[in-house]
Chain A
Amino acid sequence: MSEATATVDKVSREEAKIVRPPLVLNQRTMGWISNYISSIIEGKTPFWWYAAMAVTVPLSLMCFGMLAYLISTGVGVWGNNHPVGWAWDITNFVFWIGIGHAGTLISAILFLTRQKWRTSINRAAEAMTLFAVVCAGIYPALHVGRVWMAWYLAPVPNSNAIWQNFRSPLLWDVFAVSTYFTVSILFWYTGLIPDLATIRDRCTTKIKKFIYGVLALGWRGGNRQWRHYEKAYLILAGISTPLVLSVHSIVSFDFATSVIPGWHTTIFPPYFVAGAIFGGFAMVLTIMIPACAIYKPLHDLVTHSHVDKMCKIILLTGSIVGYAYLMELFIAWYGANPYEKAAFWYRAFGPYWWAYWAMMFCNVVAPQFFWFKYFRNNWIWVWVLVQFPNMGMWLERFVIIATTLARDFMTSAWGMFHPTIVDWCTFIGTFGLFTTLFLLFIRFLPMICMFEVKAVLPEADPHYGEARH
């Protein structure tokens, strides 16, 4: 009996090789996956972690210091001024929120489309979403000026019994971003529950056992639990998909529903969403490649095929973004609106020409290298090349916001934006905050979704090794 089973096992393994390359390399077992991923959390804190934290923690403290200075002094400490009333705050907000979108895309859209390769990257990407949204949230919350008045945005009447203007895109934004953050946390935590149970069951010290035990909520992995769990996960994926598309569309409405030339275009929602996915995947690769370089056995889980696929998505979305840039220019010319035409002329040849052409290079030209397998397979090249989308997507938002406002309808309302040192330090600080949160995540939570990776192993199939019909 057992010999027969072994032969059949071997046959199905051979069969699997023909059908599709395995998602997990080196025939790793379920036990190995738990052991290795958990060992990252259970082991001694490595030196590089402290070294990295020594850089990122002061940077995040700098961010908080700058925000405290801003609150205590006023928004005047930023460079925003007439006519560029929205500047780095909104640029950075859109930049960070866009980065978050790749995480939701990986966890939701790729789940719905049954892309099983997502299992080994979705946890880290979702964590990245959360931390990016935290960084993003800082800006709209603080740019209101008097932060203690921020409750005006909540649906509560003010002292004159006047309610919020629900027809304003800025209020849509509040609802969209806060819903997005909440749903992202729920999605991420739901995915974590079975893995927290794994950590709980392996804990040796009482304190750890208590903490992970509480966090795992008493999960036992019975099928009576799994069936509701899987349903909940499917539903969350199903509702996160339109959510993520709506969030960046609504962010683009902040611009598109205004009457400013260069902003008032219908192309904005799809173009913003494509850009968000483009920039977000670049950020996923930016953090996953170093993580895999540090934890070498992760190469069996995050394989060349994963990076290859992500590069292709960057190439695709980068090309969509490039198409949108060209289409904007075409419509500016074809639409025969002199203000629209002027707005785009100033983008390309006005005072911020350098930002425009740098953006064009970073977002349209640089990703084209990913047509070549050589660049997609060489992780050092990949890491270098994805820095261009990272920069380019920031520049895109800067170009859209600052150059448009700097050249208003009337020459009397023209002006330049000059970032102050506070602008710079806050922005650099948010990178520190983002990285600090990510380092904490790597140290204390499983960065690969263990149970999902186990479920894509061939032996997870209940008919594994049985004759096919």
Chain B
Amino acid sequence: MEYAGNPESEIHGIAAEFQNARELYHAAEKLRDEGFEHWDVFSPFPIHGMDEAMGMKRSILGKLVFFGGLVGFLLAVAMQFGTSSFLYPLIVAGKPTNLFTVPAFFPIIFELTILLSAFTAVFGMLLMNGLPRFNHPLFNWERFKKVTEDKFFVAIEASDPKFSPQPLKALLESLGGTNVTVIHGD
């Protein structure tokens, strides 16, 4: 079988190329039904409905962002009431410094909620995706470079309990995959 990377090093997994989103989608459905665990499909753009085809649940990022936003909200409340009502109350332009000041504090509460939500969304996304990273065994495969252009790939990792190269090659080819390749590390 063809291989990519350094054949002496550990096997990362086995990968196959597909020609379009439709083939990839149906391949994902089959692999999901076969019960694979450590695998992924790669595409130049997000494919609508692929989460269901792979049998994955909704991303939990939304829940994380709620807590990020909450932290921003509490931070702004603490910062404004803490300093203006407790640390150094100072009446400027006749505006009160007690709890009735909420309308004047509202804009900054809003902005900080947004700011911390955005930080959580972006950095949470990167963290859950295992990014940033400099290299990955898949990058050893020359054909994989087309994944950001117009080709589609399936990769099943060696850590999957059902991993064994030869039957997998046959399976991937039966799903329409071409150029089935074993991916090694560096």
Which chain B residues numbered 96 to 114 have a C-beta less than 8 Å away from chain A? 101, 104-105, 107-108, 110-112, 114
The reply to whether the CB of B182 lies closer than 8 angstroms to some CB of chain A is no
Q: Main secondary structure on chain A at its contact with chain B? A: helix
Q: Pick the contact of B145 from A166, A201, A232 — CB < 8 Å?
A: A201
CA distance A232 to B124 in the complex (A): 8
Which chain B residues numbered 63 to 96 have a C-beta less than 8 Å away from chain A? 65, 69, 79-80, 83-84, 87-88, 90, 92-93, 95
Query: Chain B contacts of A243 at CB under 8 A?
Result: 111, 114
Which chain B residues numbered 32 to 48 have a C-beta less than 8 Å away from chain A? 40-48
Decide: B125 and A226 in contact? CB cutoff 8 A.
Answer: no
CA distance A167 to B88 in the complex (A): 14
Q: Pick the contact of B115 from A157, A179, A221 — CB < 8 Å?
A: A179
Q: What 0/1 readout, one digit per residue, does chain B (115-127) give for beta carbons within 8 Å of chain A?
A: 1011101101110
The reply to whether the CB of A465 lies closer than 8 angstroms to some CB of chain B is yes
How far in angstroms is the closest Cβ of chain B from A219? Answer: 7
Query: Chain B contacts of A461 at CB under 8 A?
Result: 21-22, 48
Decide: B150 and A34 in contact? CB cutoff 8 A.
Answer: yes
Residue of B nearest to A200 (CB): B148
Q: Main secondary structure on chain B at its contact with chain A? A: helix
Decide: A220 and B147 in contact? CB cutoff 8 A.
Answer: yes
How far in angstroms is the closest Cβ of chain B from A448? Answer: 13
Decide: A463 and B22 in contact? CB cutoff 8 A.
Answer: yes
CA distance A124 to B141 in the complex (A): 33
Query: Chain A contacts of B107 at CB under 8 A?
Result: 169, 172, 175-176, 246, 250, 253
Q: Among the listed stretches A15-23, A182-190, A292-300, A368-376, which one makes contact with chain B, having 4 or more residues with CB under 8 Å of it?
A: A182-190
The reply to whether the CB of B138 lies closer than 8 angstroms to some CB of chain A is yes
How far in angstroms is the closest Cβ of chain B from A23? Answer: 14
The reply to whether the CB of B171 lies closer than 8 angstroms to some CB of chain A is no
Decide: A235 and B121 in contact? CB cutoff 8 A.
Answer: yes
Decide: B114 and A183 in contact? CB cutoff 8 A.
Answer: yes
Decide: A454 and B147 in contact? CB cutoff 8 A.
Answer: no
Decide: A459 and B133 in contact? CB cutoff 8 A.
Answer: no
Chain B CB within 10 A, most for which of A194, A200, A462, A465? A462
Query: Chain A contacts of B146 at CB under 8 A?
Result: 201
- Known pairs A172-B108, A182-B115, A220-B147; A232 contacts B80 (CB<8 A): no
The reply to whether the CB of A328 lies closer than 8 angstroms to some CB of chain B is no
Decide: A232 and B112 in contact? CB cutoff 8 A.
Answer: no
Query: Chain A contacts of B105 at CB under 8 A?
Result: 166-167
Query: Chain A contacts of B6 at CB under 8 A?
Result: none
The reply to whether the CB of A206 lies closer than 8 angstroms to some CB of chain B is no
CA distance A155 to B54 in the complex (A): 47
Query: Chain A contacts of B92 at CB under 8 A?
Result: 165, 167-168
Decide: B131 and A30 in contact? CB cutoff 8 A.
Answer: no
Query: Chain B contacts of A166 at CB under 8 A?
Result: 79-80, 83-84, 104-105, 108
Q: Pick the contact of A213 from B22, B46, B122, B134 — CB < 8 Å?
A: B134
- Known pairs A236-B118, A462-B21; A217 contacts B111 (CB<8 A): no
How far in angstroms is the closest Cβ of chain B from A237? Answer: 10
- Known pairs A223-B51, A226-B43, A229-B129; A239 contacts B88 (CB<8 A): no
Q: What 0/1 readout, one digit per residue, does chain A (203-237) give for beta carbons within 8 Å of chain B?
A: 00000000001100111111111111111100110
CA distance A126 to B119 in the complex (A): 18
Which 10 residue pairs of A and B lie closest in terms of their CB atoms, listed nearest first? Answer: A462-B25, A30-B150, A232-B125, A217-B132, A163-B83, A167-B104, A455-B45, A218-B133, A222-B40, A172-B107
Interface, chain A (partner B; CB < 8 A): 29-31, 34-35, 155, 157, 161-169, 171-172, 175-176, 179, 182-183, 186-187, 189-190, 194, 197-198, 200-202, 213-214, 217-232, 235-236, 239-240, 242-243, 246, 250, 253, 451-452, 454-455, 459-466
Sample of 19 further A-B pairs with CB below 8 A, known A172-B111, A235-B121, A460-B47: A30-B44, A34-B150, A155-B79, A162-B90, A163-B83, A163-B84, A167-B93, A169-B107, A198-B44, A217-B126, A222-B41, A226-B47, A227-B56, A239-B114, A246-B111, A454-B45, A462-B50, A463-B25, A466-B22
29 pairs across A/B with beta carbons < 8 Å? A29-B150, A34-B149, A155-B79, A162-B88, A167-B93, A167-B104, A171-B108, A176-B111, A182-B118, A186-B119, A190-B125, A201-B148, A214-B134, A218-B131, A218-B133, A221-B43, A223-B51, A232-B61, A232-B122, A232-B125, A235-B62, A239-B117, A239-B121, A242-B110, A243-B114, A454-B44, A454-B45, A460-B47, A461-B48
